[in-house]
Structure 1
Amino acid sequence: MEQSFPALPGQAALPGLRHRLSTRIVSLSLGALLIVLAMISGTLWLSWQLEGAGAAINDAGSLRMRANRVAIELARAHAGERHQLDAQITGMDATLARLRQGDPARPLFLPDDPGIRAQLERVSHDWNQRIKPSALADLGVATGEAPAYPAALAAFVDQVNRLVSMIEQENATKTTLLRLSQAGLAAMACMGTVAVIYLLYIWIILPVMRLQDGLQRMAAREFSLRLPVETRDEFGMLADGFNRMAGELEGLYQDLEARVAQKTAELARHNRDLAALYDMAALLNMPNDSEALCRGFLERVMQQFNADGGSVRMIDADHGQLHLVVSAGYSAALEEAEHCMRVDACFCGEAASESVVLIEDLSKGAALSAGRPASDARFGCAREGFPGLAVFRIETQRTVLGTFSLHFRQPLTLPASDIRLLETFGQHLGVALDHLHLSETARQLAVVEERNLVAQGLHDSIAQGLNYLNLQVQVLEDAVSRSDMDETRTIVPLLRCGVEESYQDVRELLLNFRSKLAHGELRQAVEDTVARFRRQSATELALAFNDAQGGPPLQPEQQLQVLFILQEALSNVRKHARAGHASVIVRNGRTFSMVVEDDGEGFDPMEPAADDQAHVGLHIMRERAARLSASLRIVAARGTGTRVELILPR
């Protein structure tokens, strides 16, 4: 009964039992075994027949001997000697009986031939009817009478010879058959071996070689290869499975090539986008004003996307308008018409959060983004020959700064990757403009702060001197009006001294304002400041600068603020302390510290000043220390001098 096994998913069903290679091999082996066994059985049968016929020849040949022995025993009997005539006759009867019946145990049997059987019957009949009775009759014949047995013996021996000759002839025929069967067995063994080798080559070796060649060609990526399916056995199933596998691999390889091409295109597009982003970031990081920044941005975006026109607009939040900053590819009329637009003309009256404001094909007269209606301004672009329009927001994380638009003379189709890139461009431009605005604001604040410090310095020095000169001029005017020459002579030197002091203050302020330090120049600047103090004042000043404690040099901005604090402290010593000795100690180690100390009149920090002008210098030093994130400690008392200590932690 033919059987088949259930197939697994993706596999072909196993071949039926009669189509299997194992069935063929077993059938071939059993057939060869049966033929060999038959040939061997025939050979054994012939050998057995020859052996039985050989025993029959011996027994048939013994009939002649026994017949002659009967004659000898008769002669002994006539001579009056002991004889064994009865034993010979009995042996003769037994031999004929064995020849007739056969003896499988010896083996002994006559060939199955009717002529031989008939000859045996003639020999037996002759013995029983003529020879044996003649022998028994001769036993009673008187001496001198002629016996009948010898006369009949010759004819009987001839009959026995004919029987032996017939058995030998039959035996010779069977011997020839035995030799022929042995030769046939040898020939069949040779032919069977050749047949088995051929069948095994056809059934096993050739399919295996085809599979091996197919695998080698498959390894060489020859996926179009297909093996012939010529049988329905296991190798046929393997060939069919190989073909299906080759087909799947061919499909996968073709699909892989398409995927590789797709991924290569995507990678090229990503590389292009990254290069564009890098170029845009490099542009936006260059020091430019907002208009130059927007113009460079628009030129690169138009070049990147092959746009025929474009514009950048910024939002005026106070008036709800979009002002055109830069444009390209516009006609004068269109630029004039769109120089100032309302915000809702671009944002379509919606406070949407998407970066993409509008993407539309104006040749169709309808917006393609969220179904927003196109405005008259956009249809103006269509009339100018720009049917394709894309508008994107310029924004930061905090707010929307404006929009930029691209115009195309062909209907617009932007893929999602280009939309994301344009959104990123808008965000980069927004961050750059916001940074530019913040930088400008920071510069303005720095200028305002520095002007405040300058104003405080002027108020502390020049303003006081001018106020003093103003009072002296009033006194001089009064003295001149009274023609008091003595008082006039007294006031004029005071005026000269006040003007000289104001002039020195102006020179000192100018020198302080012009101070610029590079990295590591603080020591030289401190020594120059101390030298200038020594030239301007009679107070003895000692300097101790210790920068060998392993501390790194201060940043230029920090050095400049430290120098300003030192200048202000020494200016206070020169103007107000009336000290005989002063010292400046600078240490640069784990922390940076500077101490300015004098033995002058000092002051009471807790006592309210009659005039706030006395504390302007202290306020300036505290503000500069705050800008350094440093601590400034002022220790002073009436009659014991003043100590100013600046500590800048690392």
Structure 2
Amino acid sequence: MLKPGLFAGWQKLSTRIVGLLLSFLAIALVVIGSTLLLSWQLEGSAAAINVAGSLRMDSYRLALLATQMDGGANGAQQVGEQLRRMERTLELLRRGDPQRPLFLPPTAAIHGAYAEVIQQWQAELAPPVRGLLVAGVRDGAQIKLIQQRSEQFVLRVDQLVHRIERDSETRTFWLRASQLTLLALALLGTVSIIYLLFDMIVAPVTRLQGGIERMRERDFSVRLEVDSNDEFGQLTNGFNQMADKLQDSYNNLEQRVQLKTSELELQNRELALLYDIASFLQQAQAAEPMCQGFLQRISEYFRADGGSVRILDPLRGNLHMLVHQGISEQLVETERCLKVGECLCGEAVVSKLAVIHDLRRRADGHTLQCHREGFATISIFHIFAQRQHMGFFNLHFRASTTFTAAQTALLETLGQLLGTAIENQRLQGRDRELAISEERNLVAQGLHDSIAQGLNFLNLQVQMLEQSLQRQRMDEVESIVPALRAGVEESYQDVRELLHNFRTRLQEGNLVTSLETVVDKFRRQSGIAVDFSADSDGAPFPREHQLQLLFIVQEALSNVRKHASASQVWVRLTDDQDFTLSVKDNGHGFDPAALETQGEAHVGVNIMRERAQRIAAQLQLRSAPGAGTEVLLRLPRAQRRAA
């Protein structure tokens, strides 16, 4: 009895087809295997017949050699070789050779006949031959005995050969029967498979095709009979269910089209609102007009009678009303600044969840200013930026209003867009403040490195001048005045250089063009020869990076003019795997170890290092007393950013 699970599995079309094919395959393999086995056995039997038949010729030859034996060594040797040859043949029949193949058929009669052949060989024919070989003398009686027993041995071998031949005839019959069976099986299997495949596949497919043709002609009442539980039965059942749904859909098609059209229009309006607000918030504008435009757009979309946007001050716990519309001045003054936890809006800040209040259903609604002004529904949606709560916005409705889940999600998304825009404004302001602070720091460092030191020198000279005048030492006055004039001139040049550096902007062109301009100006002002070379027509850097590189070159050339006492300067720009910029002179140089001990005192070097850090570059100073100085800036490829 089949189990229910097995019966259900057999009902599957794939299971039945696979089972049918495997059954035919198993039967075919059995018949083919038996055919191959019979063919192999027939080959072994044929080889055994040939080998056994050779024993008859070998027996006659043995008797002939024994008759011709004349007592010499040559005759005895031939008889011995023939004797061993026959023994090897008998051993081959006993052992068999699967590779040829060669073996005796596995029947009791054949193996009994072979045993009689072996017994007659060992007991009757072989002993007199061996005795003749031992005697070594021709004996007529012994030779006659060998001839008689050879005849008997040949008869015994003939019996063995005849039995092998009869067995081969029987196996040949079964081989032909197996081949006929295989042919009949092929014909029967082909017909059966065609019939079963037609019954299991073609007929159901034809029925399904007919149903589809009727449905194509809009006959949605067509239903097919389910007459099996296999895959085609399930497919037919699915076809009937599809026909039911198509009939229902066709009957309600107009209503569904109107519903989908309205949903699509609503989604298009939501997308248009999102696009409008997103593009509006991306414009450069102050916070108040940005929030005012935001509030106006969502109020028009949701047909709100009023609204407001409030910003949270987390340090003081205050909620400041930034913009408003559609609410009275009295309400604005009352709720211009709320504490977290006060009123309905302050409570919503604590929970940080969107809240929609129906004031007509609240027991304390008459105590709220919003309700007294005629508003029935107050909605509160929060403003977030990077999970940071920044405030919320209200929508006021004089009629009772509810929001769908899609509308609530839309308003929450709009709150995130507004929060991101406000946060971007704050970050931009901070970036501008940081940039101004950094530039002021660089200006202060430049003034300290040049003007402050020059003024300090002038102050000391003025004090010395005052003391000389008090002592009436005119010779000292005459030596101090030129120093004062030189100090004033140097300070004036420093001021002009600083003003030029901080007013420097990249000209139209590229970095190489701007560097050539700086180098030419340095040649004219200092009179120092400069060799400038670049293997690139301008590195693809952002303009801010190029400006920092230009400032570093200006500062390096300024140090050459002030401190190096050089007669030659080399400026090299190499744009290979890494970007490299080198400014080298042949001045008197200095000890880098001594420079490191000065720390922050050498402001010019620190300014160059800070500018290099801004663009993630590496700045090195190479120098030695009497060997000149090289400022080497390297920007690895991994740190470069394209313009």
Match of 2:479 in 1: 490
Match of 1:363 among 350, 360, 364: 360
Structure 1 pair 353–340 and aligned structure 2 pair: CA distance change class (3 A): closer
Deviation track 1:277-323 (CA, whole Å, cap 9, x = no partner) reads 11111111111122222111111111221111111100111211100
Structure 2 vs 1, CA of residues 647 and 247 (structure 1 numbering), >3 Å: closer, same or farther? closer
1:395-440 Cα offsets, whole Å, 9 max, x none, are 1233100010011121121111111100000011111111111121
How far 1:521 sits from its partner (Å)? Answer: 2.2
1:11-41 deviations in Å (ceiling 9; x for gaps): xxxxxxxxxxxxxxxxxxxxxxxxxxxxxxx
The one of 498, 518, 521 equivalent to 1:529 is: 518
After TM superposition, list the pairs within 5 Å mapping 1:239-638 onto structure 2.
250-345=247-342, 346-348=345-347, 351-354=350-353, 356=354, 358-365=355-362, 379-517=368-506, 520-547=509-536, 552-607=539-594, 615-638=602-625
Residue in 2 that maps onto 1:161: none
CA contact (8 A) 1:518 1:556 kept: no
Q: What one-letter code is carried by the residue in structure 2 that aligns with 1:475?
A: M
Q: Deviations over 1:112-149 (max 9, x none)?
A: xxxxxxxxxxxxxxxxxxxxxxxxxxxxxxxxxxxxxx
Q: Deviation per CA, 1:41-74, whole angstroms, max 9, x where unpaired?
A: xxxxxxxxxxxxxxxxxxxxxxxxxxxxxxxxxx
Q: Distance in 1 between matches of 2:350 and 2:417?
A: 21
* Conservation of the 8 A alpha-carbon contact between 1:394 and 1:402: yes
Distance, in Å, in 2 between the alignment partners of 1:533 and 1:406 is: 66
Structure-1 separation of matches of 2:330 and 2:489? 66
Aligned-partner SS, 1:606: helix
Name the SS for the 1:461 alignment partner.
Answer: helix
| Closer, same or farther: CA 249–645 of 1 in aligned 2, 3 Å | closer
Q: Which secondary structure does the structure 2 equivalent of 1:348 belong to?
A: helix
Name the SS for the 2:589 alignment partner: coil
How many Å apart are 1:589 and its aligned residue?
3.4
In structure 2, give the amino acid aligned to 1:396: A
Distance of 1:301 and 1:417 partners within structure 2? 15
Shift of 1:584: 0.8
Deviation digits for residues 225-256 of structure 1 (CA, Å, limit 9, x no counterpart): 9xxxxxxxxxxxxxxxxx99998755332334
Deviation at 1:393, TM superposition (A): 0.4
Deviation at 1:480, TM superposition (A): 2.3
1:328-387 superposed Cα distances (whole Å, 9 cap, x missing partner):
112111111111011212241774353x1x201223336xxxxxx8795xx211212222
- Give the SS at the match of 1:590: coil
Residues 1:583 and 1:222: Cα distance change in structure 2 (over 3 Å): same
Query: Would you say the 8 A contact 2:341–2:350 is kept in 1?
Result: no
Equivalent residues of 1:460, 1:613 under 8 A apart: no
Q: Does the 8 Å CA contact 1:602/1:639 hold for their aligned counterparts?
A: yes
Partner of 2:4: none
Q: Which moved more, 1:419-428 or 1:483-492?
A: 483-492
TM-score normalised according to structure 2 size:
0.59
Instruction: Tell me the distance in 2 between the aligned counterparts of 1:546 and 1:507.
Output: 32
Going from structure 1 to structure 2, the CA distance change for 1:559 and 1:319 (only over 3 Å counts) comes to: same
Residue identity in the other structure for 2:319: L
**SS of corresponding position for 1:607:** helix
Q: Say which is worse superposed, 481-490 or 327-336, in terms of deviation.
A: 481-490
Alpha-carbon spacing, 1:465–1:613, altered in 2? closer, same or farther (3 Å):
farther
Kept in 1, the 8 Å contact 2:305–2:395? The answer is yes
Partner of 1:547, secondary structure, is coil
Larger radius of gyration: 1
Distance verdict in 2 for CA 1:221–1:460, change over 3 Å: same
Tell me the amino acid that sits aligned with residue 622 of structure 2: V
Report the CA distance between 1:259 and its aligned residue. 3.2
Q: Distance in 1 between matches of 2:241 and 2:442?
A: 88
How far apart, in 2, do the equivalents of 1:559 and 1:249 lie? 68
How far the C-alpha of 1:564 sits from its partner, in A, is: 0.6
Higher helix share: 2
Looking at structure 1, the residues matched to 541 and 501 of structure 2 have their Cα atoms a distance apart, in angstroms, of 19
Q: Is the 8 A contact 2:220 2:246 kept in 1?
A: yes
Equivalent residue letter for 2:281: L
- Check 1:613–1:413 CA distance in 2 against 1; reply closer, same or farther (3 A cut): closer
Whole-Å separation in 2 of the counterparts to 1:475 and 1:247: 113
Partner-residue secondary structure (3-state), 1:385: coil
Q: What's the RMSD between the two structures over aligned residues?
A: 3.1
The 1:284–1:249 alpha-carbon spacing in structure 2 relative to 1, beyond 3 Å, is closer
Structure 1 length as normaliser, TM-score? 0.59
How far 1:453 sits from its partner (Å)?
1.4
1:463 Cα deviation (Å)? 0.9
Contact 1:520 1:553 in 2 (8 A): no
Q: Distance in 2 between matches of 1:569 and 1:392?
A: 57
Moved more, 246-255 or 330-339: 246-255
Paired residues, what number?
A: 412
Please report how far the alpha carbon of residue 571 of structure 1 lies from its aligned counterpart in structure 2 after TM superposition.
0.8
Provide the C-alpha distance between the structure 2 equivalents of 1:556 and 1:248, rounded to a whole number of angstroms.
Answer: 65
Q: Return closer, same or farther for 1:483/1:610 CA change in 2, 3 Å cut-off.
A: farther
Where does the alignment leave 5 or more consecutive residues of structure 1 unmatched? Answer: 1-213, 226-242, 367-372
Contact residue 519 and residue 554 of structure 1 kept, 8 A = no
Q: For 1:37-48, what aligned pairs fall within 5 Å after superposition?
A: none
Distance 1:624 1:609, change over 3 A: closer
Match of 1:583, as an amino acid?
W
Deviation at 1:599, TM superposition (A): 1.3
| Structure 2 counterpart of 1:647 | 634
Find the residue that maps to 1:272 and give its secondary structure.
Answer: helix
CA distance in 2, matches of 1:224, 1:388: 51
CA distance in structure 1 between the partners assigned to 2:221 and 2:369 by the alignment: 59
Separation in structure 2 between the aligned mates of residue 383 and residue 266 of structure 1, nearest angstrom: 36
Aligned to 2:124: none
- Give the % identical residues: 50
Shift in Å, 1:392: 0.5
Task: Report deviation, 1:224.
Answer: 11
